[in-house]
Chains A and B, each alone.
Chain A
Amino acid sequence: MIDRSSRLGWLLVAPAITTMAAIAIAPIVWTIWESLHFHDLRMPWLGRPFVGLANYQEALVDRRFRGAFIHTVVFAVVTVTLELTAGLVVALAVDGIRRARGVIRTMVLLPWAIPTVVVGLTWRFMFETQSGPTWFADPIAAWVPIVLADVWKTTPFVAILLLAGLQNIDASLYEAASVDGAGPWQMFTNVTLPMLRPALVVAFLFRALDAFRVFDLVYVMTGGGPGTATEPLAVYTFVSLLQNLRFGFGAALSVIAFGTTLLIALVTIRLFGRAAFTEPA
C-alpha cells in the first residue's frame, strides 16, 4: 500500500513526468512507430502500410548508409580525441596563468560563441582555392577543413569544462605529492588526471554525442561531398527525410542514430562515469 507521503511525492513530480513524456518520449516513440512503416510523402497513392523492419533492412544493405555510419564514427573518434587533448592543454595553460585570467578565459571561449554555420562558411572560404589542387575535390583531403573547423570551434568548450575541474582540485593534494617527492609529470598522472576524471567524462560525453550528430558544419562546408565521401549520418538522414521525403526510411535512420548515441552514453557512464554524476567533483 502506498502511504500518503509517497503519494504526495508522485503527485508533485507528475507535471514534470508529463512534460517529459510529451516533449521527449512521445516524439521518440512516434519516430520508432513511423520507422516501421512505408511512408513516402511524394506518393500518397501507396498509402502508409506497416512494413515491420523493412526500412532497417534497407539501411543495412545500403552502401551509402554504411558509408555514412563509418564517416560519423571516424569523425567522432578523431575530433573528440583532438578536442580533449587540445582542451586539456589549453585548460592547464589557462590554469597556470595568474593575471588577467577572466579576460583570457573570455578570449579562449570566443570561437565557441560563433554560430557553427558561420564557422563552417569561414573555414570553407579559407580552403577554397581557384587553382591548383582543391581540398574539397578529394575524398580524404575534404575532411581536413571539416575536422579543423570542428576542433577550432569546440576546443574552448572542452577547455572551460576542464578548467572548472582543475580549479576544484584541492591544492593540499599537490603539496602532499611534492612532500612525497613527486615530479611534475607524476603529479599530473597521479593527482591531476584522476581528480579531473569527472570533468573529463562529462566533456567526453558532450563532445562524443555532439560529434555523432554532426550536421551543420558538413552541410555548409561540403554538403557531404565529393560524392558522399564526407557524408555523416545526420546529413544522409536529412536527405532522406526532407529532400527525398521518405519519412519511413528517414525515421529508421534517425532511430539508428538515436540508438547509437544512447548506447555510447550508457556505456561511457557504466564504464568510468558513474562517479562523475554521483560524487561531488
Chain B
Amino acid sequence: MQPAWAVLGLVLASAACGAPSKRVLTFSGSALGREGEVISRQLERFRRLNPSITVELRSTPDASDQRRQLYVQWLNAHAPDPDVLQLDVVWTAEFAAAGWIAGLDSYSPPVDHFVDATLNANRWNGRLFALPWFVDVGMLYWRTDLVPHAPATLEELTMLAAAAQRDHGVPFGFVWQGARYEGLVTVFLEQLGAHGGRILDADGHVTVDSENAVAALTAMRDQIVASGITPEAVLSWQEEQARLAFQNGQAAFMRNWPYAYALLNDPSRSRVSGRFAVAPVPGAAGGAPTAALGGSQLAINAFSDQPDEAWRLIEFLLQPEQMVERAQIAGQFPPRTDLYEGEALAAALEISPAAALQVIVRAVPRPVSPVYSQLSDILQVSLHRALTRQQEPRAALVEAADAMRGLLARVKLVPAES
C-alpha cells in the first residue's frame, strides 16, 4: 500500500509544480475547415515572431450558442484561460457588462482604420471592449440572367421577382432565412432599416412597435401571402436551405451572407455560377438600404494573467497581412477600410472589394445590450408568429415591445429619461 501512495503523491506534486513553469497563451475560436487552416498558419507565424510566447489554440464548438455557453461557464468561474476570445458581434456588450472581458482603450488600438459600425458594436458605456476581426453583412444575391438590373427599392424588388417567376418560370422570386432563430432577426433588421425603423433607438428605448416596424413586418409577411414571391417554406429555412435553393436555380433573389458567394460561383456544384451578382438589400420609401452586421471580434479575458501578451496576439491578428490572407482562404471580409482601396484584397476575394464595401458601409449592428440574446429570443418568437399568421404584425410587435421593455426594466437597463 504505502509505496503506491508515495508514488501517487510524487506524481501529484510534480504535476502541481510543473504547470506554472511555462506560461501558455491560449486562443479560443473556430478551428475547423478553412478558418482553422488560416488560424493555425497565423499562430505559427506569431510563434516565430515572438519566441518568448507559447501560444496554443483551444478549439471550441463552431455552433455559436454552444460556444457562448462554454465561455459563460468559464468566465463565470473566473477562469484565466483562454486568454484571447473570439466573440460573436452580439456578445460584446453582455461580456463587457459582466466584467468578463478587459477594456482595450489603454492599448490605444488603431480605431481609425476600422469601419465605424463594427467598432460601435464593440463599445459598452463608451469604452471599447473588443476589436472586429472579420465582418459579415447581409447581401442581396440576384440572378443576372433572369433580372435586368439590381433593384433600387423594395417595391422594385417585388416587381422584378414576380416578373422573373412569371416570365422565366423560376419557382421562387425571393428567398431568405425565416426559421425562428437568430438569422430571422438579421433579415428583419434589414427590412426594418429599409422602412426607416429601428429595434432600439439611440438612447436605448424600445421602438420595435413603431409604424415603420409594422410596415416592415407586414411587407415580409406579404412577400409570402400576398405577392407570393417568397415560398412559405422559408419559415423553416436557415442560410443553407436558402443557398441551396438559389444554387439550384430555383430563386431569382436571395438574402444571404458573403460566405455563399464562393460556393455559388463553383461550377462543379452550382447551377448559377457566373450568372449572379450581389447588391445591397434595397430600401423602401422613407428608409435606406440596410445590411445586418455580423462577424467575429477579438477580446481579452478579464481574468487572464498575461493580458499584454494577449494584446500582442490580437494586434498581430489584426494586421493587414493577416486579414488579406483570411479573406483569401476563408473568404471573410476584413473590417479595415484602408484595405478596400488596395490591390491585395481584390486579388484575394472572389467578390469585388468595391461591391463588398458598398454593402459594408451600410452595416447596422443589432442592439448593443447585455441582454441582447433574450431581446432577440422575444423578437424571434413574435416575428415568427406574425409570419406564420398566428398574430397580426402589429399585435405581435406590440407584444414583443412590451416584453422587451419589461425585461430591460427588470434588469435595470432602462434608459434615463432626459
| Interface of A toward B, CB cutoff 8 Å | 40-46, 64, 128-134, 136-139, 222-229, 239, 242-246
Give complex CA distance A138, B99 in Å. Answer: 43
In whole Å, how far is A41's beta carbon from the nearest beta carbon of chain B?
6
Contact B381 A134 (CB under 8 A): no
Task: Assess whether B320 is interfacial by the CB under 8 Å rule.
Answer: no
Contact A46 B76 (CB under 8 A): no
In whole Å, how far is B312's beta carbon from the nearest beta carbon of chain A?
28
Chain B residues lying within 8 Å of A245, measured Cβ to Cβ, are 72, 373
Give complex CA distance A231, B377 in Å. Answer: 13
Q: Which of B97, B231, B381, B388 contacts A138 (CB 8 A)?
A: B388
Chain A residues lying within 8 Å of B94, measured Cβ to Cβ, are 42
In whole Å, how far is A277's beta carbon from the nearest beta carbon of chain B?
40
Mark interface residues in B363-407 (1 if CB within 8 Å of A CB, else 0).
000000011011001000110110110110000000000000000
For B383, give the chain A residue with the smallest CB separation. A227
Contact A227 B388 (CB under 8 A): yes
Contact A128 B233 (CB under 8 A): yes
Q: Which of B98, B171, B235 contacts A42 (CB 8 A)?
A: B98
User: What are 28 pairs between A and B in contact, CB < 8 Å?
Assistant: A40-B411, A42-B97, A42-B98, A42-B370, A45-B97, A45-B99, A128-B233, A129-B233, A130-B233, A130-B245, A133-B232, A134-B236, A136-B236, A137-B232, A137-B233, A139-B388, A139-B390, A222-B236, A223-B179, A223-B181, A225-B179, A225-B388, A226-B235, A227-B180, A228-B381, A229-B388, A244-B373, A245-B72
| Interface of B toward A, CB cutoff 8 Å | 65, 69, 72, 76, 94, 97-99, 171, 179-181, 231-233, 235-236, 245, 250, 370-371, 373-374, 377, 381-382, 384-385, 387-388, 390-391, 411-412
In whole Å, how far is B77's beta carbon from the nearest beta carbon of chain A?
11
Give complex CA distance A261, B193 in Å. Answer: 47
Contact A226 B245 (CB under 8 A): no
Identify whether the interface residues of B are mostly helix, strand, loop, or mixed: helix
Contact A244 B377, CB 8 Å, known A43-B98, A131-B171, A224-B180: yes
Give complex CA distance A226, B411 in Å. Answer: 28
Contact B72 A227 (CB under 8 A): no
Chain A residues lying within 8 Å of B391, measured Cβ to Cβ, are 227
Number of A-B contacts (CB under 8 A): 95
Chain B residues lying within 8 Å of A131, measured Cβ to Cβ, are 171, 231, 233
Give complex CA distance A170, B391 in Å. Answer: 58
Give complex CA distance A42, B391 in Å. Answer: 31
Contact B72 A137 (CB under 8 A): no
Contact A44 B76, CB 8 Å, known A130-B233, A134-B232, A137-B232: yes
In whole Å, how far is B406's beta carbon from the nearest beta carbon of chain A?
10
Give complex CA distance A131, B251 in Å. Answer: 12
Contact B65 A243 (CB under 8 A): yes
Known: A227-B385, A243-B377. 14 other contacts (CB 8 A): A42-B370, A42-B371, A44-B98, A46-B412, A130-B171, A131-B171, A134-B233, A139-B390, A226-B385, A227-B382, A227-B390, A243-B65, A245-B72, A245-B373
Contact A137 B411 (CB under 8 A): no
Give complex CA distance A113, B413 in Å. Answer: 49
Chain A residues lying within 8 Å of B373, measured Cβ to Cβ, are 42, 243-245
Give complex CA distance A133, B235 in Å. Answer: 11
In whole Å, how far is B204's beta carbon from the nearest beta carbon of chain A?
16
In whole Å, how far is B384's beta carbon from the nearest beta carbon of chain A?
5
Q: Which of A44, A130, A228, A243 contacts B99 (CB 8 A)?
A: A44
Chain B residues lying within 8 Å of A242, measured Cβ to Cβ, are 65, 69
